[in-house]
């Protein structure tokens, strides 16, 4: 299921953005932590939280079919300054 969480997270964020997904298991409890840069947090959360609510419902339903309790959390990914500056230029950095 981590592959599905990673796939959906990648599709919801802008191309070229950094997305990390971590999985923590404890018997029949699974926690997924999706970390994205602050520019893409809003894309994962969506308007009024509708996107993240649907995302959580989907993984919870799939987990329930497997007898698991699944939680999904989204966190801000702290990108080191040297990596941030090496990323492809954006329209903002080009002055558009």
In a domain, 70, yes or no: yes
Give the range of the structural domain holding residue 6, as residue numbers without chain letter: 2-86
- Encoding tokens for residue 60? 């919870």
Which of helix, strand or coil describes residue 52?
Answer: helix
Which of helix, strand or coil describes residue 87?
Answer: coil
In a domain, 31, yes or no: yes
pLDDT tens track, the chain, 96 positions: 999 999 999 999 988 888 999 999 999 999 999 999 988 999 999 999 999 999 999 999 999 999 999 999 999 987 655 555 555 555 555 555
The CATH number of whichever domain residue 26 belongs to comes to 3.30.300.20
In a domain, 41, yes or no: yes
In a domain, 94, yes or no: no
For the whole model, what pTM was predicted?
A: 0.76
In a domain, 62, yes or no: yes
CA-nearest of 33, 35, 48, 28 to 76 is 35
Report the domain count for the chain: 1
Helix (H), strand (E) at residue 42: helix 41-45
């Amino acid at each position: 299921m981590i592959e599905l969480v990673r796939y959906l997270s990648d599709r919801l964020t802008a191309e070229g953005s950094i997305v990390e997904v971590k999985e923590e298991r404890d018997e029949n409890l699974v926690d997924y932590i999706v970390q994205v840069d602050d520019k893409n947090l809003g894309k994962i959360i969506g308007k009024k939280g509708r996107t993240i609510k649907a995302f959580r419902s989907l993984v919870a339903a799939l987990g329930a079919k497997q007898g698991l309790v699944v939680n999904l959390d989204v966190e801000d990914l702290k990108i080191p300054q040297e990596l941030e500056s090496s990323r492809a230029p954006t329209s903002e950095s080009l002055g558009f």
